[in-house]
Each structure stands twice: as C-alpha cells, then as structure tokens.
Amino acid sequence: MHEPIFSLEVFPPKRDAPVGTIYDTLDGLEGLMPDFISVTYGTGKQSDRTATARIARTIHTEYGIPSVAHLTAQYADKEIVDQALDMFDRAGVAAVLPLRGDSVEGRTPAGVFDHASDLVAYIHAKRPDMTIFGACYPETHPEAASPQADLDNLKIKVDAGASHLISQLFYDNDYFTDFLGRARGTGIDVPIEAGIMPITNASQVRHMSEVCAASIPPAVNTILDRWGDDRTSLREAGIIYASQQIADLVSQGVDGIHLYSMNQAGVTRRIWHNVRHLFKVRQASSSMLSL
C-alpha cells in the first residue's frame, strides 16, 4: 500500500501586498517537507500572472520542494498558454494544474479552452513529459447538470491527460467517501487527494462554502455559532476540526491530503504537527507521486 501524499496550496500575494509575505509563508512552512506545494493562478484584474511561475520556481530551487503551477483556461488563448508553458520551463516547473477558472465580471472568455479538459489535452500534446493535475468536486461542481454528468466530464479530463486529481474543499468527509466510490465506478482510477481548508474565519467559511458549494455540517455550524466572533478560539477549534478530518480520511486509506494553507504557515504547522505520524516517514520510493 502506498503512503498517502501530503501537499499544500499557497497563493501569490495581491499586487499591492508586500512581496515578502509569500517568503514569510514559505519560511514558516520550512521543515514540513510536503510531497509538493501548488501555487494558484489569478484571473482577476489585480493578479500578476508571472507570480505563479516565480513562486513555483522559488519553492523548488530554494526550498527543495516539488511545485505545481496552476493555470486557468477560459480567458487564455494558445499564445498565452504557450507563453505560460515557456515560463514554467524556464522556472523548471514540471507539473501543472489546468483549471477552467472562475468567471470574472466584465471579462469575455477567449473561447479557445472552454473546459479545463481542453487545456489538459493541449498541454498533454505540447508537453508530454509534464505531470498534469486536475480539480474535482466531492459535492459536484455548482454548474454541472448532475453529479453523474460532472463525473463524466471529470473522466474526459483524466482521459485527456490528467494523472492526479485534487478535490475542492469539503467539511463533511462522507461527501468525499461517497464521491470516491462514484468516481471509481465511473472508471476514474488516478490518485485523488482530499482538499482540506482549515476553519479560521467565520465569514470566510460562509463565503467559501457558498462559492465552492461546500455544505456546512451541523458540527461546523456549532463551532461558527460558538466562536464566530472570537478569532483565537475559532482558530483553535478549526485546527482540531481539520486534524480530525485528516485523521479520519487517512484511516480510510485516502490517496492523499491537500491542505489549503491560505498562506497561514502557523495554522498549517499546527495541523501537520497533529497528523504527521499518520503519514509515517514519506520516502520518494513509497510515494505514488513522482514530480
């Protein structure tokens, strides 16, 4: 049996934020040695799209951790994607997570890569050696016609070249377990990592759960009601809740855990401290991932 993967996600700081904040985050994560760190790609007006490649490069050259660069599809044409791939080559980034990307008000999609699977197929043809990831949705993507239609679309993404999936955040493990069974039943047999986002801010949890269509189970509602206005206690309860979610998922034999760090190194370290023994000593040879 493979050891579960443990990976993290970080995001580039906003244009007006001091650039050093991301290095503070990475410094704070030092010593955790996740299997990889993925770096998000912005579609908003405020985002600096070269930042993803720069941060991904820093992660693997300066911190010695494999990195995965996100890349969004719907506003990109082939020229933009080619430029991004060249940038990733120069940065030595060997893995990419193509996404459709969320819609931005006032921006018209380029109409070239309508779905993430279109971008996956394009990258797979252009860079056959690149490891390609894909996103998936335990509670079904909000725009999907049905749960099975979403899985059928996910199968198209895997068949196009995505060899590793990372799930949207969820707060109720039963959704993930159920999804895993349905995905395997649809013939999706690549590793699927469970996406965990720690609860640290009540309004953010409510906002994210709306945007991502992630249900808030009664246990999380109770935490939010009790400590929603008390950041310190909410953070502590959130660390415990995420740690319990991870322990339960690892005990069930999941392929891996992808922790949405939200660039909060302190919270990430505390969770890792709680669960690290469940991952044993991860060695490259025993991991199901080679980047």
Pairwise CA distance, residues 98 & 198, whole Å: 24
Which listed residue (43, 131, 173, 243) binds ligand FAD by CB under 6 A? 43
The answer to whether residue 166 forms part of the interface with ligand FAD (CB under 6 A) is yes
Question: Pick the catalytic residue: 9, 62, 79, 143?
Answer: 9
Nearest in space to 261 (alpha carbons), one of 248, 249, 271, 246: 271
Per DSSP bridges, beta strands 5-10 and 192-196 are unpaired
Pairwise CA distance, residues 169 & 9, whole Å: 12
Which listed residue (12, 34, 101, 256) binds ligand FAD by CB under 6 A? 101
- Binding to ligand FAD in span 167-196, by CB under 6 A: 168, 195
The answer to whether residue 163 forms part of the interface with ligand FAD (CB under 6 A) is no
Tokens of residue 12, six digits? 């580039």
Q: Write the DSSP symbol of residue 262.
A: T
The answer to whether residue 156 forms part of the interface with ligand FAD (CB under 6 A) is yes
Only segment of 12-20, 98-106, 122-130, 222-230 that touches ligand FAD (CB under 6 A): 98-106
The answer to whether residue 48 forms part of the interface with ligand FAD (CB under 6 A) is no
Q: Quick one: 41 or 176, whose CB is closer to ligand FAD?
A: 41
Nearest in space to 175 (alpha carbons), one of 201, 200, 133, 147: 147
Q: Which residues contact 273 (CB under 8 A, 6 or more apart)?
A: none
Which listed residue (32, 99, 271, 275) binds ligand FAD by CB under 6 A? 99
**Is 9 annotated as catalytic?**
yes
User: Is residue 69 a contact partner of residue 95, using CB atoms and an 8 Å limit?
Assistant: yes
Tokens of residue 43, six digits? 């579609």
The answer to whether residue 115 forms part of the interface with ligand FAD (CB under 6 A) is yes
The answer to whether residue 144 forms part of the interface with ligand FAD (CB under 6 A) is yes
The answer to whether residue 150 forms part of the interface with ligand FAD (CB under 6 A) is yes
The answer to whether residue 104 forms part of the interface with ligand FAD (CB under 6 A) is no
Q: Which residues contact 265 (CB under 8 A, 6 or more apart)?
A: 24, 25, 26, 27, 28, 29
Amino acid letter, 56: A
Interface residue list for ligand FAD (CB under 6 A): 40-41, 43, 70, 72, 99-102, 115-117, 135, 141, 143-144, 150, 153, 156-157, 166, 168, 195
Q: Could you list the active site residues?
A: 9
